[in-house]
Amino acid sequence: MRSVRGVSFVWESGAREGQKDIGVVAQEVERVLPEAVRTDAYGMKSVDYARLIPLLIEAIKEQQKELEALRAEVRALKGQ
């Protein structure tokens, strides 16, 4: 997920044409989690954001574990 960028954009067509929005680049998501991307009959890709949630939860847990390890290391170094 580190290669997926959050972006802001303006819709170029459809019901939301001209509206500002935020999201991720579907092609970038497709490279790491293809099942979270749909392609319509016109070739337009869209992201099923609900499918990203489990990965984001795991990423947060991994970061928390690393943060706790770093805090323990700092405490140990301060104790020396």
pLDDT number for residue 60 = 96
Measure the CA–CA gap between 51 and 3, rounded to whole angstroms: 17
Give the pLDDT of residue 68. Answer: 97
The domains of the chain are located at 6-79
pLDDT of residue 75: 94
Which three-class secondary structure state does DSSP give residue 76?
Answer: helix
pLDDT at residue 23 in the model? 96
What residues in the chain have per-residue pLDDT under 70? 80
